[in-house]
A and B are shown apart, each in its own frame.
Chain A
């Protein structure tokens, strides 16, 4: 019964109150679940609602547990499993700093252009690129930058939303 490890993207609507993020993170660390990425911000100021998008991995039984445990937290409104519910758009934002000169510097700019990354800061010897995309695309770009003078990467983690007219 070697169950396969799956990666799921969960979208959790919560009351924006003190401690709510600690409850979610404490649940994951306390019960030994994985967090691959976690993003949180207020999405409805009038109703004090925040959305947490988190990417986690585990066997199907563990994923079910994670959802049930999240749903049990008192300030949680809804838990939706975007991976199960079908088509969704997942995006991540990254800022990538590359330092170099000569051919390497030109090459990094050329590749950035192909990936539709924008230079948001520049000195004679460095660029900061901003790019948005699926996590795999950012991985690919970061890997290409490595030999070209990659210095720092800062990534937001995934935010996601369902495709089509219906809300989450």
Chain B
């Protein structure tokens, strides 16, 4: 080469590792959450020499996936993960399963031993595609460098289209080192994979007819609306207001209708609102958009909404008629479905049955009057509900991103935080992964550096990925961990109290770290709250600190999460508080349910 300026690398000159990074850049990837290791060293080396993407070094591969999930769910983009072979890949499995259950678009690149070593029990070898087959939407093992670029673009398409989900690309080390041709994303189209987005117009006509005729209607909407993009939430709110019908949301759907809207009844399900569950039980038409009749929502299937016709709109045909048989199944993207419903409603000049609707709302108001979230306030003990009420009240104007771990605190957060818009609430719904919240908050904070990101945690869950405090400190991420510390695995203790005769087997943590010192040890800031009168002050202080914070809030150890549909019971058989629980023993069938 005699010329002064070196020409840009032609396709033939790039290595596999360079192709991988260029493909990520061309997919618009800005951040990769990862952890290096032997089988991905060529990719890390290429990363060192280029500045295509920003790499966030986590402290455990599971956290890399959860961080990518938090990033994806707070932005609508695909979250990207890069881990090494063997233990790197197996550590990622929990995160991948979590993303699969909650339909989060994630692309996870895993290193693999060189192709000639595959199957030889080489060092750090694992059958990654075999292990991840049931916990991904799709996975690839790239054995030909010629297919590398195409595979990466295809993986992004699969991850984000249709019902989103995690996709693994297993990358043998020799493929990363070999010369590989590059193709751009525009040149890749999948042979077979074409998820249906547009609903059948006839079904929409039929749906509008059923919706207009209903006397006791209920919208029941979920994560499918959130996943479809912000537009779908706007359209849902618009359509709900056009009809004047009540709407309830699943744990995953919170925020898709503003919580302040009077038509919103609150969350549905096991720890959902009394009025939502009663309305679901008594409705004569259930309009399900992007929810999947999960067992946390339906309760006892044989007594689920027994007098209702059901319309189910879902982008995933396999979600329809899986648990609950519906009267009108419609496959389509929530946003497109809602646009079509609104257009048809206007075209038909459809009007709801005013008299019937007024009567229905009268009934709903009676249920609402039960005030199912009320709890006994205390001057000496911090009630967890009180702590969250204050946390919400003092942060709501800052429009925070809220993540949670899993357990009682998660359900209280879902009950006491009111979400006005989608993509601000990230929680592990389907898999129920303790340890989700802190890395997810890190992912959200990376995407929104100037916003308030809070992980509402329990003292048991937080210890499952506490090492990520180190990540937060490294990248100066001011994530706030708000621990409702009752020294128990609260939800386990609650079930043992209600269902297992108060035999608290292994649910009490005898030794806990000093969380204030722990925050300090990581290089963050710690606070402890032990009195109700200190709650407000510490929360305000926490917001001001521009560093990772752990708040250790000592709450009433005995508090249980109500309302509750006991396992195996129907919607109209809720426990509203401690006074209810003794009177209603759990059925034998209920005992076997999770």
Contacts and interface: CB of A to CB of B under 8 A. Distances in A.
A61 B325 contact: yes
A22 B139 CA distance: 12
B133 A23 contact: yes
Given A30-B134, A74-B137, A77-B192, A19 B129 contact: yes
Interface in A53-75: 61, 64-65, 68-69, 71-75
A15 interface: yes
B321 A74 contact: no
Contacts of B320: 68
B82 interface: no
A18 interface: yes
Contacts of A134: none
Interface in A1-25: 15, 18-19, 22-23
B316 to A, nearest CB: 7
B360 to A, nearest CB: 28
B134 A18 contact: no
A72 B192 contact: no
A76 interface: yes
Given A19-B133, A23-B133, A26-B134, A76 B192 contact: yes
B321 A65 contact: yes
B317 to A, nearest CB: 4
Interface in B135-194: 137-139, 141, 158, 190-193
B133 A74 contact: no
A55 B134 CA distance: 22
Contacts of A75: 192
Interface in B87-135: 129-130, 133-134
B318 interface: yes
B540 interface: no
A30 B97 CA distance: 14
Contact of B317 (A15, A30, A71, A73): A71
B374 interface: no
B134 A74 contact: no
Contacts of A19: 129, 133, 139, 141
Given A23-B133, A26-B133, A74-B158, A68 B318 contact: yes
Given A74-B158, A74-B192, A22 B318 contact: no
Nearest to A75: B192
Among B158, B190, B317, B325, chain A packs the most CB atoms within 10 A around the CB of B317
Interface string B574-590: 00000000000000000
B359 interface: no
B500 interface: no
B303 to A, nearest CB: 13
B196 to A, nearest CB: 10
B322 A74 contact: no
A19 B131 CA distance: 12
A22 B130 CA distance: 8
Interface string A101-117: 00000000000000000
A64 B317 CA distance: 10
Secondary structure class of chain A's binding surface, majority of residues: helix
A72 B325 CA distance: 20
Contacts of B322: 65
A73 B129 CA distance: 15
Contacts of A69: 318
A22 B136 CA distance: 14
A73 B193 CA distance: 8
Interface residues of A, number: 19
A1 to B, nearest CB: 8
Given A23-B133, A61-B325, A74 B317 contact: no
Among B129, B141, B193, chain A packs the most CB atoms within 10 A around the CB of B193
A23 B134 CA distance: 8
A72 B331 CA distance: 13
Nearest to A78: B192
Contacts of B141: 18-19
Contacts of B129: 19
A72 B129 CA distance: 18
Contact of B138 (A22, A26, A61, A74): A74
A2 B190 CA distance: 42
Nearest to B143: A18
A72 B316 contact: yes
A76 B133 CA distance: 15
A26 B138 CA distance: 13
Among A18, A19, A77, chain B packs the most CB atoms within 10 A around the CB of A19
Among A18, A26, A64, A74, chain B packs the most CB atoms within 10 A around the CB of A74
B318 A74 contact: no
Contacts of A18: 141
Given A15-B192, A74-B192, A65 B318 contact: yes
Interface in B185-207: 190-193
Contacts of B158: 74
Given A65-B322, A74-B138, A74-B193, A22 B133 contact: yes
Among B139, B320, B322, B325, chain A packs the most CB atoms within 10 A around the CB of B322
A71 B318 CA distance: 9
Among A26, A64, A77, chain B packs the most CB atoms within 10 A around the CB of A64
A69 B134 CA distance: 12
B321 A61 contact: yes
A23 B317 CA distance: 18
Contacts of B191: 15, 77
A65 B293 CA distance: 14
Contacts of B317: 68, 71-72
Nearest to A73: B138
A44 to B, nearest CB: 12
A73 B136 CA distance: 11
Contacts of A72: 316-318
A8 to B, nearest CB: 16
A23 to B, nearest CB: 6
A86 B321 CA distance: 23
Contacts of A15: 191-192
A77 B130 CA distance: 22
Nearest to B322: A65
Contacts of A71: 317-318
Contacts of A65: 318, 321-322
28 contacts: A15-B191, A15-B192, A18-B141, A19-B139, A19-B141, A22-B130, A22-B133, A26-B133, A26-B134, A30-B134, A64-B321, A65-B318, A65-B321, A68-B317, A68-B318, A68-B320, A71-B317, A71-B318, A72-B316, A72-B317, A72-B318, A74-B137, A74-B138, A74-B192, A75-B192, A76-B192, A77-B191, A77-B192
5 closest A-B pairs by CB: A68-B318, A74-B138, A68-B317, A77-B192, A69-B318
Given A68-B318, A74-B193, 5 more contacts: A18-B141, A26-B133, A65-B318, A65-B321, A75-B192
